[in-house]
A and B are shown apart, each in its own frame.
Chain A
Amino acid sequence: MIYLQILANGLVLGGLYACIAVGFSLVWGVLNVINILHGTFIVLGSYIAFFAYQYFGIHPFLSVGIASALLYVVGYATQISLVNRVIAAPVLITLTLTFGLDLVLNNMMLVAFTADYRKINLVNPLQSIEIGPIFLPGDRVAAMALAVILTLLLYWLLRDTRIGRAIVAVRMDREAAALMGVNVKRVNAVTFGIGALMAGAAGALLSIIYPISPLNSSLFLGKAFVVCVLGGLGSVPGALIGGLVLGIVESFGSFWFGPEHAVTLSFTVLLVLLFVRPSGIFGRKGYE
């Protein structure tokens, strides 16, 4: 019986992880940029939701929209002014650039908001859904729903809209796309913006689940890494599946080996995967 609860824990945790990783996966898969800023973007989304609730009483579900919009702008601007200059450069350069930018943004947030942990306490908190002896925390289920929605939106975007087709074209062949009249610079910025938007959305929702502080950004980033490698790049459901798998692995792993090994466990999974199947579960070859 306890195994059912552990499984349930793993699934909703996985939904959370998927939520965190989906934007990261997009930027990495399409732009081939590892966006170290992603964790900090999530935290920024959380702060937006927090202050919106504290000063204007806006419910975090609504803040998902607000944070998304704001972060899209931040992402777009960052990409078009800074990241785009090095978009075709080797890994070393892009990684170091986003690392440096992250240092700046994170430090600024630390100074502006302090490292004190905040949390939103809803007047009507989301209750846990009880199915028999199993407890499903309502807020995590909501995070899972958000992850699914974001993934579906992305899928629709890439398949059925002009800008989406342009993004796919740029990923397939940058020069050919440019020759076909695609404004590559704009596409890059839109992609990065969408990645940031998803981070902001995830962050807004996470504000009711986790204590908020700039100190959390690297924890989120670490999880995003593992989920992306697990699920595979270049495929839209990759982050969703990767997240669920990681959540279940961690839940059972913590139960069997002890929670103190949870972090080591996820990294071991990552390493083994990199060695055996770097493209992940759904990833396509050539995305390395």
Chain B
Amino acid sequence: MRDWLILVVGAVLLSALALSGNNYILRLATIMCMYAALAQSWNYIGGLTGYPSFATAAFFGLGAYAAGVMQNHGVPMVAAWGIAGLIAFVFAGFIGGAILHLRGHYFAIASLIIAEMLREIVNTTPDLTGGGMGLNLPILKISVDAQAKFFFAAMMTLAIASTATAIIIMRSKLGFGLRCIQQNEDAANILGVNAYGYKTAAFMLSAIYVGMAGAVYASWVNYIEPPDVFDVLLSVKPLVMVLLGGLGTVFGPVIGAVLLLTFEELVWRNFLTIHAAALGVIIVLLVLFLPNGLLSLVREWWMRRGARA
């Protein structure tokens, strides 16, 4: 119950802040919601289930191109988004069948390769996707201001939906099963947990919101090209965000998204040439000193307080 309350309050606060009139803040808030959705999605398979997926970029790009191609053939925008999410969902199901039997490193690499393959496929099918030349999407015929608000609303919906899904999963049989798989998959199997089914479900869920985020992104920026939407950083950043906030928690991904975005903006503005290195340093420090994320620190502090009282 507490989680739902936090979600609602958080959403209201964010909206108030974002719509307060400053366009820059609005844009940042939109990106933050997108990051949050990506991070939440990754958490289902990476945080809860313990399968380090690098497929986020694959689903994002797939959703972006699916929506782009559909819209250029006349499909209305919001419908295209929904269908893009569905396509990513089904695609994850197929791919899952091929790679979910792998563990550890091999799974990580295989999921990484999926994005590379999809990118090459787009590159070599220019008639459909524009190939290396990129794809233009139709511009919404409403004012720039209205567009900004509209896309913020869209991304926020995704962020809320993915968080809500996280809350539901955590409390369900699926969530319990996934956590068992993470601890010891073989034992889970012996105890009757349908490991294969559960992890496939988690993998597929991790694709929906990411696919839709890709679709919304494509409509927002009106031009996409393969290196842009299949960028490996799209797979790495959500991972870092969840590490930052706390693996396997409900709000960890959101906290991580806020932190990373803040950091990025600060660095981008002030240290353009070394921003990649700065991100690298953050990642290294994070992994070495805070592998359980910020929320674990908070929890420890909270518990210590409680013990003293």
Contacts and interface: CB of A to CB of B under 8 A. Distances in A.
| Highest count of chain B CB atoms <10 Å: which of A32, A89, A104, A288 | A104
A278 B240 CA distance: 27
Interface string B232-255: 000010011001000000000000
| Highest count of chain A CB atoms <10 Å: which of B105, B110, B286 | B105
B160 interface: no
B109 A34 contact: yes
Interface stretch (B138-146, B173-181, B276-284): B276-284
Interface stretch (B3-11, B113-121, B150-158): B113-121
A172 interface: no
Contact of B108 (A95, A102, A270): A95
- How many chain B residues sit at the interface, stated as a range, is 35 or more
A104 B281 CA distance: 7
Nearest to B283: A100
A103 B283 contact: yes
A86 B284 CA distance: 11
| Highest count of chain B CB atoms <10 Å: which of A110, A111, A278 | A278
Contacts of A268: 117
Interface string A61-104: 00000000000000000000010011001111101110111111
A52 B223 CA distance: 44
B161 interface: no
Main secondary structure of the interface of A (DSSP, over half): helix
Nearest to A263: B120
A157 interface: no
B287 A100 contact: yes
Contacts of A32: 105
Contacts of A85: 288
A164 interface: no
B113 A270 contact: yes
A85 B103 CA distance: 22
A108 B113 CA distance: 27
- How many chain A residues sit at the interface, stated as a range, is 35 or more
B98 A107 contact: no
B113 A97 contact: no
A264 B279 contact: no
Contacts of A96: 236, 239-240, 243, 283, 287
A110 B103 CA distance: 35
B52 interface: yes
Contact of A229 (B46, B109, B240): B109
Interface in A262-288: 263-264, 267-268, 270-271, 274-275, 278, 288
B184 interface: no
Interface string A168-193: 00000000000000000000000000
9 contacts: A32-B105, A34-B105, A91-B52, A95-B52, A97-B284, A261-B124, A264-B121, A267-B120, A288-B103
Interface of B: 46, 50, 52, 98-99, 102-106, 108-110, 113-114, 116-117, 120-121, 123-124, 236, 239-240, 243, 273-277, 279-284, 286-288, 291
